Amino acid sequence: MPFPYKTVLITGATSGIGLALAERMINSGVFVIAVGRRKDRLDALVKQHGSDKVAAEPFDISDLSALPNWVKHITTTYPTLDSILLNAGLQKTLLFTNPTAIDLAAHTTELTTNYLSPLNMIALFMPHLISLAPNPTSIIVVTSGLSVIPLPRCANYSASKAAAHSLVWSLRAQLTGPEAEHTKHIKVVEIMPPAVKTELHTIQPDLVEMGLGDIGMELNEFADFTWGELQNEEREEVWVDQQRGWKEVDAKRREVFEGSVKAFRGMGLKF
pLDDT one-digit tens code per residue, 247-270: 999 999 999 999 999 999 999 999
Domain count, the chain: 1
The CATH number of the domain holding residue 262 is 3.40.50.720
Sheet with 186-191, edge to edge strand ranges: 54-58, 31-36, 7-11, 83-86, 137-142, 186-191, 237-238
Instruction: Specify if 41 maps to a domain.
Output: yes
Residues lower than pLDDT 50 in the chain: none
Q: Cα 161 vs. chain centroid, distance in angstroms?
A: 10
Instruction: Specify if 246 maps to a domain.
Output: yes
Domain assignment of residue 55, given as a range: 7-267
Instruction: Specify if 2 maps to a domain.
Output: no
Could you tell me the pTM of the whole model?
Answer: 0.93
Instruction: Specify if 1 maps to a domain.
Output: no
- Let me know: does 22 contact 48? Beta carbons within 8 Å: no
Please report the pLDDT score of residue 217 as a whole number. Answer: 85
- Let me know: does 90 contact 37? Beta carbons within 8 Å: no
Question: How far is Cα 202 from Cα 3, in angstroms, rounded to an integer?
Answer: 32
